[in-house]
Structure 1
Amino acid sequence: MASPVKVCVTGAAGQIGYSLVYMIGSGAVFGPNTPVSLHLLDIPPMMGALEGVCMEIADCALPCVRDVVPTADPAVAFNDIDAAFLVGAMPRKEGMERKDLLAANVKIFKVQGEALDKYAKKSVKVLVVGNPANTNALICSQYAPTIPKENFSAMTRLDQNRAQAQIAARLGVPVAEVKNCIIWGNHSSTQFPDVRHATVNGKPVYEAVNDDAWLMGDFISTVQKRGGAVIAARKLSSAMSAAKAACDHMSSWWNGTPDGQFVSMGVFSDGSYDTAPGVMFSFPVHIKDRKWSIVQGLPIDDFAKGKLEATGKELCEERDDAMSVCAAAQ
């Protein structure tokens, strides 16, 4: 038997974690013949619930699951891991300013970054799911200086999946026929869902849909506001779809992208497409041998440039706010 892939999930007793650990254990991420060791981290008050999650994993009798390690100690959770899904974060509460949310999350991701730096493999792939994901990923990497910055990413795959699903529904086609939807920028209401370079059955989406006003209006706002719409309907935030997107993101990172196709990931901006460097910006990426590279040379029209500028501005403001919190905590 191959050695198991050691995978950490934080916030593992929470709603997203509940769906996520099953999907990882089922072989959906690392392959149906790849054993996994699940390191499940949560805060001490959640240990009872986490025990119940572990009982259910056992009761699923998943062939890929080699062992399960529940813990409230980051040193145990991150020890020698190959991949991390950082789901646990401080949720935004009613009346909470974004700066307050950032301050609370800086504390969490500082501790986790330091623990990753000290205990995880230097090749670890770190996916930040907990919001504000882009800036949380930035903070986490800041406190893990011996792990390459390209090993950190933020999840915008849920937004990509939402965009893909909206186009498929509009055209009445299977979702798998829609390819190369892009999410630019922040995982927030300023994100830019872009289908200018997307295809459906090989045909440009703009030609297939033949409704530029919808594609540049309601389509974008629907994807941007989808999380809020789910909360309004379900009275809880997206969990199953977020877990699926996290698995999609890590699976692409681990196994690569098909030729001619790309996926969206929040990664360190190098200034491509005139974006601000030094923030976690969502770009279209190719992935090979577990290394991503930003897709270059896509034509960007004035409409798109305005959208990229707006979401980039928000990311710079978040970064500056978060770094001021870090500086004050020194």
Structure 2
Amino acid sequence: MSEPIKVLVTGAAGQIAYSLLYGIAKGDVFGKDQPLTLVLLDIPPMLPVLDGVVMELQDCALPLLREVIPTDKEEVAFKDLDAAILVGSMPRKEGMERKDLLKANVAIFKSQGAALDKYAKKTVKVLVVGNPANTNCLIAAKSAPSIPKENFSCLTRLDHNRARSQVAMRCGIPPDSMKNVIIWGNHSSTQYPDVHHCMVNVQGKNETAFDVVKDDDWLKGDFISTVQQRGAAVIKARKLSSAMSAAKAICDHMRDIWRGTPEGEFISMGVYSSGNSYGVPEDLIYSFPVTIKDKSWKIVDGLEINDFSRTKMDATAAELVDERDTAVAFLGV
């Protein structure tokens, strides 16, 4: 049995965390032989709720879970971390402008980035979930200069899973019969779900998604808008955001970071752009196709990009540039 690792979840009294914590604690993410300490951070008014979450985790009697530490203090939460899953953020309220949401979250993620820099291990892997996830992730990374920017990523795996599922349902096959869907850009309604490089296994034979679906208009139209608007559709139907599917996507994302991606397969993650891939501007957290080995990601370069894709990739990059510039202006990070 390995030495325990220390994993932080922020916004730990919230509904995404409630769906997430059991999966982490029972070994679905970091491995069935990896003991761990869970650190749960939330704001002071949520501490009584957090106590209830701790009791439930204790009552699960999970053999890998060595300790649970609930706290509202950053110096406790961020100390000696191996992994940080930053779920908590200021939600958008009725009548709130996007710039107001950005301003509130820039302050949160600047503070958490500084806490990572001061207290966490320099090898910590940081996943930002709280929205606007790409820009929050960039601010956290900029606020932690002693931790490599490559250690930061944001969640677009939920969009990736949504895209796989939509195509799979259309083809009448299980989602694991297809691979190499791509989510480009921002985790917002400008994201571009791309299946030009997606391969579908039908009765043992690999074919392109376009050949199997046989409906280019759907793949270039309703499919894209369905994935882009799926979060809003869930909220409209459920009156709550996508907690169960978000938690599953977080587990998928962190498991791939920890254990690597399968040979010949890539997944989507928001990662730091150095300006050297697909014409995406530097100094953005942008969702690319990546492979992962030894806890390090690598952008899958050299994929052919047609004019249809180029336009959509550029549009979501432009939104991210605007978000970044607005966020940086607020706090001068």
- Whole-angstrom distance in 2 between the partners of 1:116 and 1:73: 13
Please give the residue correspondences for 1:157-306 in structure 2 after superposition, counting only pairs within 5 Å: 157-201=157-201, 202-271=206-275, 272-306=277-311
Q: Deviations over 1:38-57 (max 9, x none)?
A: 00000000000000000110
Task: Name the CA distance, whole Å, in 1 between partners of 2:98 and 2:319.
Answer: 11
Task: Compute the RMSD of aligned alpha carbons.
Answer: 0.8
Deviation at 1:178, TM superposition (A): 1.4
| Aligned partner of residue 273 in structure 1, secondary structure | coil
1:203 CA drift (Å): 1.3
For residue 224 of structure 2, give the secondary structure of its aligned residue in structure 1: helix
> Residues of 2 paired with 1:26 and 1:306: CA distance?
43
* Structure 1 residue 109, shift from structure 2 partner: 0.6
Q: Which residue of 1 aligns with 2:156?
A: 156
Letter in 2 for 1:228: A
Alignment deviations for residues 267-300 of structure 1 (CA, whole Å, 9 cap, x no partner)? 0112210111110000000101000010000000
Instruction: Read off the aligned partner of 1:111 and give its amino acid letter.
Output: S
Q: Which residue is 1:115 aligned to?
A: 115
Q: CA deviation at 1:20?
A: 1.0
Separation in 2, partners of 1:78, 1:135: 21
Cα deviation, residue 185, structure 1: 0.1
Counterparts of 1:308-323 in structure 2, within 5 Å, are: 308-323=313-328
Partners of 2:110 and 2:127 lie apart in 1 by: 15
- Structure 2 gaps, min length 5: none
Cα distance between partner residues in 1 of 2:200 and 2:137: 32
Amino acid at match of 2:175: V
In the alignment, what sits opposite 1:106?
Answer: 106
Q: 1:159: how far off?
A: 0.1
CA distance, structure 1, for counterparts of residue 84 and residue 50 of structure 2:
17
Match of 1:258, as an amino acid? P
Identity of counterpart residues, as a percentage?
64
CA distances 1:163-194 after superposition (whole Å, capped 9, x unpaired): 00101111111111111110000000000000
Tell me the residue number matched to 1:140: 140
Which moves more between the two structures, 217-226 or 93-102? 93-102
Corresponding residue of 2:65: 65
Aligned residues: 328
Question: Stretches of 4+ moved more than 4 A in 1?
Answer: none
Distance 1:308 1:174 in 2: 28
Q: Which AA in structure 2 matches 1:37?
A: T
The one-character-per-residue Cα deviations of 1:56-91 (angstroms, maximum 9, x if unpaired) are: 101111121111000001111111010000000001
Measured in 2, the distance between the counterparts of 1:130 and 1:246 equals 11
Partners of 2:290 and 2:136 in 1: how far apart?
20
**1:184 partner letter:** W
Shift of 1:214: 0.2
Distance of 2:127 and 2:65 partners within structure 1: 20
